[in-house]
């Protein structure tokens, strides 16, 4: 297989080394296209599969583009709303404060002098608060699922909510903590299941369902609403 596959006006990243028995197409939140297939699958077979799914792909791409256009960037001014665990809190700029940002009495408070660097300040705050919250949930779910990650980290993953490294490290996007708690838990369980099954096989989704019987509702909510939470 080639590292990339071009079909008409679509370019796919071909992910190598998979042991799955079927072909899977994914449209990422940024519109990037990926394709997973059994090792050694001929490019002609992949091309044929893409052509069969072409109408579905164009629908997904158009949906992702419309969702990104609908999201406007935040302004770091008093009154602007910023999400945290699914709720929106208004920002209040103050003259002085002992820390760059804090959530107090139902408001985010930030010194005016920090406003030009507001995005970095918020990302730092989100990252700091996401790490213990997510680690606590991992400690809750992992024993029930029969897995034990080597490490849990929170960092910038671009347009991905989470990832599972081959060495057993789970990474979560700092923006995950903006989502409602049941959706964050879905992201966590999703990545924990990858410690059992690296690919999105039927067994993978069966394992997710055993832990979260309503996972399809949570998954659909994330697909439909997730883009609106990453607009710093």
Tell me the per-residue pLDDT of 15-39, one tens digit each, with 9 for 90 and over.
Answer: 755 555 778 888 776 567 888 888 7
pLDDT, one tens digit per residue, over 78-112 is: 999 999 999 999 999 999 999 999 999 999 999 99
The CATH label, of 3.30.2010.10, 3.40.980.10, 3.30.565.10, 3.40.30.10, for the domain at 117-229 is 3.30.2010.10
How far from chain centre, in Å, is Cα 159? 6
- For the entire predicted model, the pTM comes to 0.75
Q: Phi then psi for 59, rounded to 5 degrees? A: -65, -45
Please identify which residue in the block is written with the tokens 């940002």: 101
| Of residues 37 and 142, more confidently modeled | 142
* Domain map (residue ranges) of the chain: 4-70, 117-229
Beta bridge pairs of residue 185: none
Please identify which residue in the block is written with the tokens 């979560």: 172
């Amino acid at each position: 297989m080639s590292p990339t596959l071009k079909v008409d006006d679509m370019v796919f990243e071909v992910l190598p080394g998979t042991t799955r028995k079927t072909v899977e197409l994914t449209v990422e939140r940024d519109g990037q296209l990926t394709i997973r297939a059994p090792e050694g699958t001929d490019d002609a077979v992949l091309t044929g599969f893409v052509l069969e799914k072409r109408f579905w792909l164009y629908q997904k791409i158009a949906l992702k583009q419309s969702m990104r256009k609908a999201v406007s960037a935040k302004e770091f001014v008093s009154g602007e709303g910023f999400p945290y665990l699914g709720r929106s809190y208004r920002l209040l700029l103050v003259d002085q404060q002992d820390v760059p940002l804090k959530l107090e009495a139902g408001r985010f408070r930030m010194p005016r002098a920090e406003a030009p660097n507001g995005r970095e300040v918020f990302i730092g705050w989100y990252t700091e608060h996401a790490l213990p919250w997510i680690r606590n949930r991992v400690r809750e779910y992992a024993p029930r699922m029969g897995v034990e990650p080597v490490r849990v980290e929170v960092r910038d993953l671009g347009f991905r909510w989470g990832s599972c490294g081959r060495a057993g490290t789970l990474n979560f996007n700092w923006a995950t903590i903006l989502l409602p708690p049941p959706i964050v838990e879905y992201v966590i369980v999703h990545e924990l299941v990858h410690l059992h099954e690296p690919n999105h096989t039927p067994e993978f989704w069966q394992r997710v369902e055993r832990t979260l019987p309503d996972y399809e509702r949570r998954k659909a909510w994330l697909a439909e609403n997730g883009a609106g939470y990453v607009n710093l």
